[in-house]
Amino acid sequence: MEYTKNFNIRTGRNLTMLVDFYELTMGNGYLHSDMGERIAYFDMFFRRVPDGGGYCIMAGVQQVIEYLSNLKFSEDDIEYLRNKNSFSEEFLNYLKNFKFSCDVWAIPEGNPVFPNEPLVTVKGPAIQAQFVETMILLTINHQTLIATKANRICRAAGNRPVMEFGSRRAQGYDGAIYGARAAVIGGCSSTACTISEEMFGIPAVGTMAHSWIQLFPTEYEAFKAWADVYPDNCVLLIDTYNVLKSGLPNAIKVFNEILLPKGFRPKGIRIDSGDITYLTKKCREILDESGFSDVQIVISNSLDEFIISDVLSQGACIDSLGVGERLITARSEPVFGGVYKLSAIEDPVGNIVPKIKISENEEKITNPGFKNIYRIYDKKDNKAIADLITLRDEELNLNEPIEIFDPVFTWKKKKIKDYYIKELMVKIFDKGIPVYENPSVMDIKKVVEEETSKMWPEVLRFENPHTYYVDLSKKLWDLKQDLLHKYSNTYEEE
Amino acid sequence: MEYTKNFNIRTGRNLTMLVDFYELTMGNGYLHSDMGERIAYFDMFFRRVPDGGGYCIMAGVQQVIEYLSNLKFSEDDIEYLRNKNSFSEEFLNYLKNFKFSCDVWAIPEGNPVFPNEPLVTVKGPAIQAQFVETMILLTINHQTLIATKANRICRAAGNRPVMEFGSRRAQGYDGAIYGARAAVIGGCSSTACTISEEMFGIPAVGTMAHSWIQLFPTEYEAFKAWADVYPDNCVLLIDTYNVLKSGLPNAIKVFNEILLPKGFRPKGIRIDSGDITYLTKKCREILDESGFSDVQIVISNSLDEFIISDVLSQGACIDSLGVGERLITARSEPVFGGVYKLSAIEDPVGNIVPKIKISENEEKITNPGFKNIYRIYDKKDNKAIADLITLRDEELNLNEPIEIFDPVFTWKKKKIKDYYIKELMVKIFDKGIPVYENPSVMDIKKVVEEETSKMWPEVLRFENPHTYYVDLSKKLWDLKQDLLHKYSNTYEEE
């Protein structure tokens, strides 16, 4: 059991072998081409915000750190790989003694992030920096997808609490567990996923399903039994038979007969089907008339940001919402297309040689070199103006105005005065040693609230958001142009 | 470490606490309403085939069995639950000594399954049968979704091998790990997900990424290095710079200079971008002219069943395919809407009381009672004619023709002679003891091939497939009508 030492029973398995097989065939190849120890630089970034949104919410860094801290091949893994007949004993020996020694930088969780800026940068021996591709992508892609979707849904819900309810429709166990984590980062107040509270300290909540009602001879008896057991937290699901003719009258009867005499106020009713606008308005009216204006109306049933905006604009009376499958799978756009691309290598004497991936598709051309990112804020209102990607060794002169320019239409320039900057990436591994202290999920959630409040409303809106500026420094832009021209001289159009 | 005994380092964590919180609040409620030990019957089923398809592929039973075999609450879990202040000590004690004692039936993996038939049935004490809802749904929903999507993609690909490549875009680690399992069940020949081969014995494959090419000074040197290391399995990725002007000529040069002199035949080229039809036709032509008609063309890049059908109909020259994000997330429809509904309870003396969930939406009305399912095959050609859902205690007289009828338009009848039947569900737990031996994934894959070959082509097609008959026995139909009429007398339309 060589895993045991670093193995946390709750946070999961050792996932070292969760790797695309080609990372291994390439690793073996690098080793035998004397490239294994060459220092390579990789950037993880994405090209497009899902759902046509204005920004994404960074999430998953803690799990990347856990993964990178626990890289270890077992004897069984080595034996399995040996039997594939693709790898030399020298390479298998390398894996057996694998010791992660890369430097890694990442944008901390909860920050709004934008296309084409590095979210994670890995610098280290080519075998290693290549190997970690699959899990870095998988982790950040998944959690950023869900945090971003949750943020949309919570914005649509206004100040109403949104509960994450989707475990049963998640794509696998981790889809539920880490999906709940990301959903709370993005803005959800709580989750139905119990294990996620144990693991991450995010509140788990829940009351009853239709089966509770059905198991009793009548709805009234089911409500009565519930009120007896949970007088202090009584939320009744009222749509098993008929909301207005049966569920609500029975609920009110039980509130009056059981709760009030015992000195408890009822907490709420939940509706999980039917016409939300009509039913919630009617229920609100009847509850208010019956002396229960403090009783909350909770809704669920295939909600997402579009339906929530719609029913609220129709005047639906909603106090809180449960959102399930459309959040936990990001149903409207379930793929977050983060990529992991080589940006530089060091030559044998340690000089950085920037690399570019060219493409007919201009969008797919990468930003070369070892880079840094600064977020530039306006001093007078703290709003974020732009992100500026520079080369690592550039120094910004903060006493002078910064001139940014559009990387395509370079005559579109903007001179920024009275600004302050924040370096976006933090170092999370130094020569293989974790050096970053993960904040709690509830603290990351606060970062989201704080940092999105610094975004212009034009960037935050759902429809046709303003494209936030992500610009390159002059030095980086020049380098990129040089490389592009170099390649265009070598290769012609298809 | 009380988990250790039943804990498999590779198949995962103890997932007992992966449960919707309301299963616990209901459990506590059942206990205190004297309903905890009442025998309840729950069915898991779905209502609609994703993507408008004709059938789904059942998957995930092995993981349901692993989960149910390992139900166990740790001291930490109990302490965590105690701190929620929602549960009595009596209930916490019940959980501490939790011993799964239900009977469970399921349709074995690999079988085509249809809307409204039970995929899983659980019979047991209400607390337990309720508790397992979340994980049964999560497991079957996920794997059935991916197996079904993979089956569509592989049908579109004809006899060409399809490799599952999606780990990096999966929704969480299990999305990748079990998604690969389900993809191979559905028809994929292999996966890029290494750990899935270790866990399930499904072949893991892979060659090189663009970064391999970029790390070398030139594409030619990168290809040459690869051919040196992997002369016997040389598949070159030729689209890093320009497929026809650079990638293919460099590949052919390396084939001729390195592989042939050493006595090796090259295996293939891979194209991951650009116009698939145009490029594969051109590459095929050039490869054939160059004496490499045995070299295979592998394609990837955001493929799904629609794109594959399209490029093949245009005459694209493709030998095998890598399919990633659109398979591993079932992007076209990423939610499999399986539900878990109460179908009966036993009264205190053990009589079965059937239960129905009514709904304004006719589709959402459930089938009551403790049931069984038979698949009826035509004796002359072995084609499946219909599934018949009966009550458990009904006996079919196999010496007589079976009359089936449409459950809505009951005058639509069909008398079936010369048939044979298969009972679809098998018992997987007997009083909490696992009693089913899981086949290997590769054997489940064969079930898919065999059983889909027994489906009419009209059911298999993509566009407007014929709706396969899933009918109710007369006795079950009568029971359902009785319950519906009983409710319609009690409750009026909203």
Q: Which three-class secondary structure string do you get for A110-164?
A: CCEECCCCCCEEEEEEHHHHHHCHHHHHHHHHHHHHHHHHHHHHHHHCCCCCEEE
Angle value at C-alpha A295, between A292 and A299, nearest 5 degrees: 135
Interface test with A, best of B202, B211, B492 (most A CBs within 10 A): B211
Return the pLDDT at B5: 31
- Specify the domain boundaries for CATH 3.20.20.70 within chain A: 147-328
Chain B residues 124-143 within an 8 A CB cutoff of chain A: 126, 130, 133-134, 137-138, 141-142
For residue A382, pLDDT beyond 80: yes
Note whether B384 contacts A: Cβ–Cβ < 8 A.
no
Buried b (16+ CB within 10 A) or exposed e, B363-402: eebbbbbbbbbbbbbbeeeeebbbbbbbbeeeeeeeeeeb
Instruction: Please provide the average confidence, as pLDDT, over all residues in chain A.
Output: 94
Note whether A341 contacts B: Cβ–Cβ < 8 A.
yes
Kindly state the average pLDDT of the residues A358-370: 87
Among residues A449, A183, A168, A476, the alpha carbon closest in space to that of A304 is found at: A183
User: In sequence order, what are the residues at sequence separation of 6 or more whose Cβ sits closer than 8 angstroms to the Cβ of residue A450?
Assistant: none
Note whether B175 contacts A: Cβ–Cβ < 8 A.
yes
At A317, list the tokens: 């009376």
CB B301 within 8 A of CB B166: no
Subunit contact B244:A210, Cβ cutoff 8 A: no
How many other CB atoms sit within 10 Å of the CB of residue B16?
A: 20
**H-state helical runs in B216-315:** 219-229, 248-254, 260-262, 276-289, 305-313
Q: A233-237, A278-282, A426-430, A482-486: which has the minimum mean pLDDT?
A: A482-486
Residue A215 has its nearest CB partner, among B3, B40, B170, at B40
Report pLDDT digits (tens) over B377-392: 999 999 999 999 999 9
At A262, list the tokens: 């015992």
Residue A171 has its nearest CB partner, among B14, B40, B329, at B329
Return the pLDDT at B177: 97
CATH code for the domain defined by B208-301: 3.20.20.70
Subunit contact A210:B357, Cβ cutoff 8 A: yes
- Specify the domain boundaries for CATH 3.20.20.70 within chain B: 208-301
Q: Which top CATH class is A4-146+334-490? A: alpha beta
Kindly state the average pLDDT of the residues A56-85: 96
How far apart, in whole angstroms, are the C-alpha atoms of residue A328 and residue A168?
Answer: 9
Return the pLDDT at A480: 96
CB contacts of B361 in chain A (<8 Å) are: 273
Residue B169 has its nearest CB partner, among A26, A76, A335, at A335
Element (H, E) at A391: strand A384-391
Report pLDDT digits (tens) over B252-304: 999 999 999 999 999 999 999 999 999 999 999 999 999 999 999 999 988 99
Subunit contact A242:B126, Cβ cutoff 8 A: no
Angle value at C-alpha A415, between A413 and A416, nearest 5 degrees: 135
At A260, list the tokens: 């009030």
Nearest CA in chain A to B169: A138
Residue A215 has its nearest CB partner, among B32, B35, B204, at B35
CATH code for the domain defined by A147-328: 3.20.20.70
Note whether B123 contacts A: Cβ–Cβ < 8 A.
no
How far apart, in whole angstroms, are the C-alpha atoms of residue B110 and residue B195?
Answer: 22
Note whether B82 contacts A: Cβ–Cβ < 8 A.
no
- Specify the domain boundaries for CATH 3.20.140.10 within chain B: 4-146+334-487
Subunit contact A22:B207, Cβ cutoff 8 A: yes
CB contacts of A127 in chain B (<8 Å) are: none
Subunit contact A242:B494, Cβ cutoff 8 A: yes
Residue type, B345: I
**H-state helical runs in A230-268:** 248-254, 260-262
CB B442 within 8 A of CB B202: yes
How far apart, in whole angstroms, are the C-alpha atoms of residue B314 and residue A5?
Answer: 56
- For domain B4-146+334-487, the CATH architecture is Alpha-Beta Barrel (3.20)
Report pLDDT digits (tens) over B395-417: 899 999 999 999 888 999 999 99
Nearest CA in chain A to B229: A29
- Grouping H, G, I as helix, E, B as strand and the rest as coil, residue B183 is helix
Kindly state the average pLDDT of the residues A415-441: 97
CA distances from A341 to A37, A126, A222, B366 (A): 18, 12, 58, 51
For residue A120, pLDDT beyond 60: yes
For residue A69, pLDDT beyond 70: yes
- Specify the domain boundaries for CATH 3.20.140.10 within chain A: 4-146+334-490
Residue type, B31: L
Nearest CA in chain B to A77: B198
Residue B175 has its nearest CB partner, among A126, A171, A490, at A171
How many other CB atoms sit within 10 Å of the CB of residue A461?
A: 13
For residue B9, pLDDT beyond 70: no
- Complete edge-to-edge strand list for the sheet that includes strand B162-164: B190-191, B162-164, B320-323, B296-299, B268-271, B235-237
Return the pLDDT at A12: 57
User: In sequence order, what are the residues at sequence separation of 6 or more whose Cβ sits closer than 8 angstroms to the Cβ of residue B142?
Assistant: A170, A171, A172, A175, B60, B174, B175, B178, B179, B182, B336
Among residues A175, A224, A213, the alpha carbon closest in space to that of A196 is found at: A175
Note whether B32 contacts A: Cβ–Cβ < 8 A.
yes
Note whether A329 contacts B: Cβ–Cβ < 8 A.
yes
How far apart, in whole angstroms, are the C-alpha atoms of residue A456 and residue A385?
Answer: 8
Element (H, E) at A275: none
Q: Which residue has the tokens 């709580």?
A: A190
Half-sphere exposure of B222 (CA within 13 A, CB side): 24
How far apart, in whole angstroms, are the C-alpha atoms of residue A178 and residue A162?
Answer: 17
How far apart, in whole angstroms, are the C-alpha atoms of residue B299 and residue B276?
Answer: 8
User: What is the bridge-based pairing of β-strands A339-346 and A402-405?
Assistant: unpaired
Confidence of residue A7 (pLDDT cuts 50, 70, 90): very low
Kindly state the average pLDDT of the residues A91-104: 98
How far the first Cα of chain B sits from its last, in Å, is 54
Note whether A177 contacts B: Cβ–Cβ < 8 A.
yes
How far apart, in whole angstroms, are the C-alpha atoms of residue B44 and residue B337?
Answer: 10
User: In sequence order, what are the residues at sequence separation of 6 or more whose Cβ sits closer than 8 angstroms to the Cβ of residue B180?
Assistant: B164, B167, B191, B193, B196, B200, B202, B328
CB contacts of A246 in chain B (<8 Å) are: 491
Return the pLDDT at A486: 87
At B226, list the tokens: 């690869």
Confidence of residue B493 (pLDDT cuts 50, 70, 90): very low
How far apart, in whole angstroms, are the C-alpha atoms of residue A458 and residue A32?
Answer: 52
CB contacts of B3 in chain A (<8 Å) are: 9
ipTM passes above 0.90: yes
Residue type, A148: T
φ, ψ at A377 (rounded to 5°): -110, 150
Note whether A325 contacts B: Cβ–Cβ < 8 A.
yes
CB contacts of A231 in chain B (<8 Å) are: none
How far apart, in whole angstroms, are the C-alpha atoms of residue B105 and residue B102?
Answer: 10
Subunit contact A171:B171, Cβ cutoff 8 A: yes
Among residues B78, B77, B76, B132, the alpha carbon closest in space to that of B100 is found at: B132
Return the pLDDT at A131: 98
Return the pLDDT at B3: 29
At B366, list the tokens: 């459930």
Report pLDDT digits (tens) over B18-58: 999 999 999 999 999 999 999 999 999 999 999 999 999 99
CB contacts of A337 in chain B (<8 Å) are: 169, 325
Residue A168 has its nearest CB partner, among B138, B198, B494, at B138
Buried b (16+ CB within 10 A) or exposed e, B325-341: bbbbbbbebbbbbbbbb
φ, ψ at B492 (rounded to 5°): -95, 170
At B427, list the tokens: 């018992």
CB contacts of B138 in chain A (<8 Å) are: 167-170, 172-173, 176
Give the torsion through C-alpha atoms of B296, B302, B306, B307, to 10 deg: -50
CB A176 within 8 A of CB A142: no
Return the pLDDT at A494: 45
Interface test with A, best of B19, B95, B171 (most A CBs within 10 A): B171
- Grouping H, G, I as helix, E, B as strand and the rest as coil, residue B237 is strand
Return the pLDDT at B283: 98
CB contacts of A24 in chain B (<8 Å) are: 194, 206
How many other CB atoms sit within 10 Å of the CB of residue B354?
A: 20
Residue type, A258: I
Note whether B487 contacts A: Cβ–Cβ < 8 A.
yes
Q: Which residue has the tokens 């409620």?
A: B29
CB B335 within 8 A of CB B347: no
Confidence of residue B490 (pLDDT cuts 50, 70, 90): low
Element (H, E) at B474: helix B474-490
CA distance A358 to chain B (A): 7
CA distance B209 to chain A (A): 7
For residue B6, pLDDT beyond 50: no
Return the pLDDT at A4: 30
Instruction: Please provide the average confidence, as pLDDT, over all residues in chain B.
Output: 94
Chain A residues 350-369 within an 8 A CB cutoff of chain B: 355, 357-361, 364
Nearest CA in chain B to A331: B334
Q: If you compute the radius of gyration of chain A from its CA atoms, what whole number of angstroms results?
A: 27
